[in-house]
Amino acid sequence: MTMISRLVFFKNEKKTPKQSSDRITLNEISIVIPVKNNQRGIDNYLKAFFETQQPEFYPKEIIIVDNNSTLPLEVNHLLDRIRLPVHLIQCRQPGAGAARNAGVEQAMGKWVLFNDSDCIPTSSLLTGYLYSDNGSLGYSGNVKSLGSDLLSRYYESQEILIPLKVHDVERGFVPQYLITANCLVWRQAFITTDGFDERITIAGGEDIDLGLRLSQLGCLSYAFDSLVLHNFDDGILGFCRRFKRYGTGNKMVERIWNVRLTPKPFKPNHPTPANWTFAILQYIYLLAGYIKS
Cβ neighbour number for residue 104 with a 10 Å cutoff: 21
> Mean pLDDT throughout 174-183?
96
CATH match for 26-234 among 3.90.550.10, 3.40.50.1000, 3.40.50.720, 3.30.565.10: 3.90.550.10
State percent of the chain over pLDDT 70: 92
Question: Residue ranges of the domains in the chain?
Answer: 26-234
For residue 79, what pLDDT band results from cuts at 50, 70 and 90? Answer: confident
The pLDDT tens digits for 11-59 are: 444 456 688 989 999 999 999 999 999 999 999 999 999 999 999 999 9
Between 167-171, 210-214, 273-277, the lowest mean confidence (pLDDT) is in 167-171
- Per-position DSSP letters for 171-226, written without gaps between them: S-EEESS--TTEEEEEHHHHHHTTSS-TT--SSSSHHHHHHHHHHHHB-EEEEEEE
